[in-house]
Amino acid sequence: MNTTQTQLGQVLAAGGPRLSRLLERTEARLAEIANSHGPELSRHSGGTLSAGGKRLRPLLVFLCADGDADAALRAAVAVELLHMATLVHDDVLDRAALRRGRPTVFADGGRGAATATGDLLFSRAFAELSQAGSADAVRALSAASSALAGGELMQRADAWSGEVTPERYLERCRLKTASLFEAACRLGALLGDRPALASALGSFGGCVGVAFQILDDVLDVSGPAERTGKPRGADLLDGTVTLPLILARERDEGLRRLDLREAVTEPAQAEAVCERIALTGVLEEARAEALNYVAQAKAALADLDLPEQRREALDLVADGVVERYA
């Protein structure tokens, strides 16, 4: 059992039977949606939806919600559907064959089916949330959804660029990852009878999301592949400029001069550049930046009127995102 699983166990213990029950209902509802749109969707997105994952975003919804479980459930299902939609589209763009050990929708059904399946999952996210009857909630989800797509556009515009500053990188993390973490927490608060805490809990989620993305980018460089489930340097191969690379370029002139688009086209080359980045010592610096965001996240909770057990569970989630594979 790895660190994440241990920590998730602690969160579930802190959340009690309420949390486990809500997560089970989330799975059941996701399966129901996958099976309610004809054989094509059920084949394609059934695989995606049931392939699992950590269900981190639904977890955040429930930890930020009090009260009406049905409305929070709608929100949890909606954020997970939106997350899935972006994964399905990402797999088309990356021509990915596998995700979490299962064939992607792209591999199984081709570009057309995968693009349409992603669009359908997007649509179902809004359909699900609209059942909760809150215009504020729909606004929060659509803001996150716009940010995700905007971040994806930014990432593609910045591909292979030598001009990406740490600030621009962090802005991309906010758009591409943190926006949905923020929305998960905000929706939990809005629909779970804590509307006054929506803004503070949203900030908590946003900081956790940035930390999560920074650590993902560190793991892409550090590996090991057996733990992360993907080869080292995948970001280098598709031109995604991340914090470790940006920082390493400041320290290593050879790296700064390297044209990655030319020099890194094979996994072995990517692995060698990962080694070189790691040697500059920037991985610790990037990890420290992630920890910084975790501290900010926890600080956002400090003065809130939350039950102690709930605060502990949220703290555990925040710690968990940077302690993955530690």
Kindly report the number of other CB atoms within 10 A of residue 321's CB atom.
Answer: 25
CB under 8 A: which stretch of 48-56, 111-119, 254-262, 270-278 binds a second copy? 111-119
89 lies in the site for a second copy, by CB under 8 A? yes
* The one among 87, 148, 245, 277 contacting a second copy by CB under 8 A: 148
Q: How many residues does the chain have?
A: 326
* The one among 4, 102, 107, 126 contacting a second copy by CB under 8 A: 126
Kindly report the number of other CB atoms within 10 A of residue 19's CB atom.
Answer: 18
Q: Which of 124, 145, 133 is nearest to 191 (CA)?
A: 133
Task: State which residue, 150 or 267, has the beta carbon closest to a second copy.
Answer: 150
Which residues have C-beta within 8 Å of that of residue 208, sequence separation ≥ 6? 60, 178, 181, 293, 294, 297, 317, 318, 321
* The one among 3, 4, 10, 142 contacting a second copy by CB under 8 A: 142
Q: How far is the CB of 93 from a second copy (least distance, A)?
A: 5
92 lies in the site for a second copy, by CB under 8 A? yes
Q: Which of 297, 256, 25, 57 is nearest to 161 (CA)?
A: 256
Phi first, then psi: what are they for 128, rounded to 5°? -65, -45
Judge whether 98 and 63 are in contact, CB under 8 Å: no
31 lies in the site for a second copy, by CB under 8 A? no
154 lies in the site for a second copy, by CB under 8 A? yes
CB under 8 A: which stretch of 86-94, 214-222, 261-269, 289-297 binds a second copy? 86-94
Q: How many whole angstroms from its chain centre is CA 112?
A: 25
* The one among 79, 113, 178, 247 contacting a second copy by CB under 8 A: 113
* The one among 29, 55, 57, 124 contacting a second copy by CB under 8 A: 124
- Residue 215 token pair: 């650590």
How far apart CA 247 and CA 85 sit, in angstroms, is 32
- Residue 7 token pair: 């920590």
Task: State which residue, 64 or 137, has the beta carbon closest to a second copy.
Answer: 137
Task: State which residue, 8 or 92, has the beta carbon closest to a second copy.
Answer: 92
37-56: contacts with a second copy (CB under 8 A): 37-41, 44
Q: How far is the CB of 112 from a second copy (least distance, A)?
A: 4
Q: Which contiguous run of DSSP H or E holds residue 233?
A: none
Q: Which residues bind a second copy (CB under 8 A)?
A: 37-41, 44, 85-86, 89, 92-93, 109-113, 115-120, 122-124, 126-127, 130-135, 138-139, 141-143, 145-146, 148-150, 152-154, 156-157
